[in-house]
Amino acid sequence: MQSGNVDVRREGETCVVLLDRDEKLNAISSAMERDLLELVSGEEFRSSRCVVFAGAGRAFSAGADIGEFREMTPERVAGYYAGSGDVYEQIAALPIPTIAAIHGWCLGGALELALAMDFRVADETAVFGLPELELGILPSSGGTHRLVRLVGPGRAKELIMLGERFDAHEARRLGVVSEVVPGGRALDRALELAGRLAERPALAVSVVKQAIDAAAESSRGAGVVLERFAYGMLAQTDEAQAAAEAFGERRDSGRKD
């Protein structure tokens, strides 16, 4: 790791990634972006059943390290945003589930990072926002199109163009987060969800994730074709055959568990 601000540990079959730069509210530097890219393409993620992202200290993350930009040429700033977009796209495309455990600030690029994940759990201290327009730029790491898919174009325009901050309960109402938990419980809850996902058939979880993501980007007809293809493939696996046999045995014996 180049930055020294991204910590990785294992919790059973879950990989936990901790943004650890509390003195800067975990602002994401270009070195941290490179660390994330290294992780995405490395064995640590690929050998896990789930990845959980969290922030150390007072926040998930205050977003991109704007202070770095003062030392960059316009070309390097553009490269930074292009690079972060690439990293977030690769996180979104991981074949395993990803969960963001959010507390405190989750602004700008940090919210875009969270939006690239499959599940988002926030505690009651979380505050969200996309303030890029205040700097004369826009969310360029997936923030516009992913937010539109979750909240619709009208609300997305309000949140981005007006730079509105919103709390965890509003995020839950909008569908930006999956659930809200008491303060200090986001990571615990994310690990609970990761444990449940790890108990599910790994191939089926991966295929379901990819089928749903593809359906969000394609026509209904293409989604149906993919869904049926995926079902046919999974139905032939040993796990599916064993589950079907176990179900038949329970049914024949009258058991309901």
Based on the fold, state whether residues 52 and 98 are members of the same structural domain.
yes
**What is the average pLDDT value for the chain, to the nearest integer?**
86
pTM of the model: 0.86
Range(s) of the domain holding residue 232: 202-253
Based on the fold, state whether residues 212 and 179 are members of the same structural domain.
no
**How high is the pLDDT of residue 24?**
96
In percent, the amount of the chain with pLDDT more than 70 equals 78
Name the domain boundary from 161, 180, 198.
198
Based on the fold, state whether residues 134 and 241 are members of the same structural domain.
no
Number of domains into which the chain is organized: 2
Average pLDDT over residues 200-223: 82
Cα angle, residue 110 at apex, residues 107 and 116 outer, rounded to 5°: 125
Partners of residue 163 on adjacent β-strands: none
Dihedral pair phi/psi, residue 172, rounded to 5°: -70, -40
Which of the pair, 97 or 136, is modelled with greater confidence?
Answer: 97
Residue-wise pLDDT for 115-171, tens only, equals 999 999 999 999 999 999 888 888 888 888 899 999 999 999 999 999 999 999 999
At a CB cut-off of 8 Å and minimum separation 6, what does 249 contact?
none
Based on the fold, state whether residues 121 and 16 are members of the same structural domain.
yes
Which of the pair, 235 or 197, is modelled with greater confidence?
Answer: 197
pLDDT category of residue 233 using cuts at 50, 70 and 90: low
Look at residue 248 and tell me whether its pLDDT is greater than 70. Answer: no
Instruction: State the CATH number of the domain containing residue 121.
Output: 3.90.226.10
**How high is the pLDDT of residue 214?**
87
Based on the fold, state whether residues 161 and 82 are members of the same structural domain.
yes
Distance of alpha carbon 19 from alpha carbon 60, whole angstroms: 7
Residue-wise pLDDT for 24-58, tens only, equals 999 999 899 999 999 998 888 889 999 999 999 99
Based on the fold, state whether residues 68 and 107 are members of the same structural domain.
yes
Q: How far is CA 234 from each of CA 21, 94, 231, 240, rounded to the nearest angstrom?
A: 42, 19, 5, 7
190 CA to centre of own chain: 11
What are the residue numbers of the active site?
A: 112, 132
**How high is the pLDDT of residue 234?**
65
**How high is the pLDDT of residue 217?**
78
CB 110 within 8 A of CB 61: yes
* Domain-located, residue 1: no
Based on the fold, state whether residues 233 and 107 are members of the same structural domain.
no
